[in-house]
Amino acid sequence: MAKKVHIPLQLIIEHEAIPKLYKSPIGSWIQGARILLISGSGSTRKVTEKISNAIEGYASEVSVLTCQDNKLDTINDIERQVLEDTPDLIFGVGGGKALDMSKVVGTRSNVPVVLFPTAISSDAICSPVAVIKMMSQSTSIGVKMPQAVVIDLDVLTSCPPRLMSAGIGDLLSNKTALYDWKLAHQAGKEEMNTFANLMANNAVDSFMNLLNRPELNQSQLMKVAAEALIMSGIAMSIAGSSRPCSGSEHLISHALDYHCGAKALHGEQVAIGVLFSQYLQGQQEKIEKLTPYYEKLGLPTHYADLGYTREEMHRAIVKAPSMRDRYTIFDEFNLTEDRIDRIMDEVYPDQAKNRYCLTGLSVG
């Protein structure tokens, strides 16, 4: 059965990618085109300006819309403006929200999208999924993959280390997600796509191998983290769902968002979820193996690091299995409240508080 897989046609990750944009492989797309930049607010606007300056004189028209949030009303408003005066290309510039907004608007209005991430805080930088806010709750929806992704490493240099740590937390979750996918497949609940599985797995492995190199510098780290997150996004596109990169650990993060006030970044919450999922998956020894990576990456090892109380974390674990109709390790356990308490004591001991969280990356 023929199935179309969408992947970006171009991927540019280098220093000075924006000033050299016209000379890049997407230069010919820009020539004479009407381009709409959908920009995040705050410091992103400086990057948007930089892109405008780089393409002025080549594009026939450059316009900018700023989005403050990812609410459905805002998306509808931007989509209406796009449909009234349809551009040839949309450039999405920002962290998570502006990128998601661009993907949704591009999909709905059938305009190709080029993403310019200003931070790599999650695998949203190149995925067929966007998070939007509906009725004050975040919801994931399917969208078209971007036509290209341009990452200027000079822009990423000014990205707060916390955002990048979160992005890597999101990447580490591929391991527990793939374990859950295998379980779902064995239980006859879902098909397995070996190629997507391989890509998502190799994305994490390539990153972790690099972390062990003594000569690693910040620039290499950013590049490989970005590449690994992009490979994860492509794995999702091949699988036709977020399965390769989202399992029980993501259900815990979704429950923290939905039931406990969404107090931390997606990738930070996912990193906390990974520790619990690994325990359930019988990979306790891996928690110890992962700890040095958490240390190096400045990732949290305790929910209290993210501002959650024990009661909130407990609630999130109770609610996690019902967050999405997705077979995971949770379906193979009868997790009573007592059992959750006992596992929490083991996975999140008091001495795990404030170990590495928010120290930022320590390389170079």
Q: Which two tokens stand for residue 225?
A: 């983290």
* Shortest distance, position 177 Cβ to Zn ion, whole Å: 9
Q: Is the distance from CB of 42 to CB of 180 less than 8 angstroms?
A: no
* Shortest distance, position 130 Cβ to Zn ion, whole Å: 12
Closer to Zn ion at the Cβ: 52 or 175?
175
CA distances from 88 to 19, 92, 126, 203 (A): 21, 13, 20, 32
Q: Is the distance from CB of 149 to CB of 126 less than 8 angstroms?
A: yes
Closer to Zn ion at the Cβ: 47 or 229?
229
- Please enumerate, by residue number, every residue annotated as part of a binding site: 96-100, 118-121, 123, 127, 170, 250, 266
- Please enumerate, by residue number, every residue annotated as part of a binding site for glycerol: 123, 170, 250, 266
Closer to Zn ion at the Cβ: 170 or 257?
170
Residue 143 has phi, psi (to 5 degrees) of -140, 170
Q: Which two tokens stand for residue 275?
A: 């520790």
3-state secondary structure of 3: coil
For Zn ion, the binding residues in 258-277 under the rule CB under 5 A are none
CA distance 358 to 297: 9
Pattern 52-71, Zn ion, x by CB under 5 A: --------------------
* Shortest distance, position 166 Cβ to Zn ion, whole Å: 10
* Shortest distance, position 151 Cβ to Zn ion, whole Å: 18
* Shortest distance, position 52 Cβ to Zn ion, whole Å: 31
Contacting range for Zn ion; rule: CB under 5 A; set: 24-32, 112-120, 151-159, 164-172: 164-172
CA distance 280 to 336: 13
Closer to Zn ion at the Cβ: 170 or 312?
170
Is 170 an interacting residue with respect to Zn ion (CB under 5 A)? yes
Contacting range for Zn ion; rule: CB under 5 A; set: 86-94, 143-151, 169-177, 280-288: 169-177
Residue 147 has phi, psi (to 5 degrees) of -75, -25
The site that binds Zn ion (CB under 5 A) totals a number of residues, namely: 1
Closer to Zn ion at the Cβ: 190 or 257?
257
CA distance 56 to 180: 48
* Shortest distance, position 122 Cβ to Zn ion, whole Å: 5
DSSP 66: E
Closer to Zn ion at the Cβ: 54 or 270?
270
Contacting range for Zn ion; rule: CB under 5 A; set: 163-171, 188-196, 309-317, 347-355: 163-171
Please, which residues have CB within 8 angstroms of residue 121's CB and are 6 or more apart in sequence? 95, 96, 159, 163, 164, 166, 167, 170, 265, 266, 267
Residue with tokens 């091949």: 238
- Taking CB positions, which residue lies at the least distance from Zn ion? 170
Closest CA to 267 of 126, 173, 138, 361: 173
* Shortest distance, position 81 Cβ to Zn ion, whole Å: 29
Q: Residue 307, Cβ neighbours under 10 Å: how many?
A: 11
Closer to Zn ion at the Cβ: 118 or 232?
232
The contact set with Zn ion (CB under 5 A) reads 170
